[in-house]
Amino acid sequence: MLKKIFSQEGFLWKGLNVLTDIIFLSTLWFLLCLLVVPIGPATTALYDAVIHGIRRREPVVYPRFFKTLKTEFKTAFLSGLLWGVLILVCVLTVRYLLALGETSRSAFAAGIAYYVVLIIPLGSACWVFPILSRFTFDFASLNKTALRFAFAYLPRTLILVLMTIEVLQWSLNAIFPFFFMPALTMLLWSLFIEPVFKKYEPKVDETKSTSE
């Protein structure tokens, strides 16, 4: 019994491997994001590594992470910059309108409306990097697809946004969650994203094979 538990095929060993991968991938993502520039590419690589290395248990976790980071760097960086700027503009606009709302009802109402609108760029940002990790797209097509997915799967988009905001708020209050939450968040994202991707898997595989 103990031999089975502690063997490389036992659940304890597999569980420790998963936990180790979650911590190492999260730490790697966090260290890259400290550089600011690779946030988009790092998130794309992280989602890809989590799906193939942790969910599917393929023995390619870290080589796949760095390969995706390199291959999709330019498109992921530009996409992250695009949605990051849009989110920043929306957030600053919301704060400005809510500040005016103390003396103006219409401005306050507009601020609340902008909170609702903020779901779209946040939601698109949640979709864009997983899509890039599985599809071969140029910059324009990728971001149009992410925007379309954000609207087409609005309930899932809302869950992704709320989940990400909660994780971010918790992580900012203490540094240690950054060493395991990024990969864990990708696992949670995948529960809502992967069922959607299954509809497109034949097209994705075909596209990837022709590009490679």
Of residues 161 and 98, more confidence is placed in 161
Q: What are phi and psi of 24, to 5 degrees?
A: -65, -45
Residue 149 has pLDDT above 70, yes or no: yes
**118/134 Cα distance (integer angstroms):** 26
For residue 190, the model assigns a pLDDT of 95
pTM of the model: 0.82
Give the up-direction half-sphere exposure of residue 156: CA atoms within 13 A in the CB hemisphere: 20
Q: Would you say residue 203 has pLDDT above 80? A: no
| 211 has a pLDDT exceeding 50 | no
Is pLDDT of 95 > 80?
no
pLDDT greater than 60 at residue 9: no
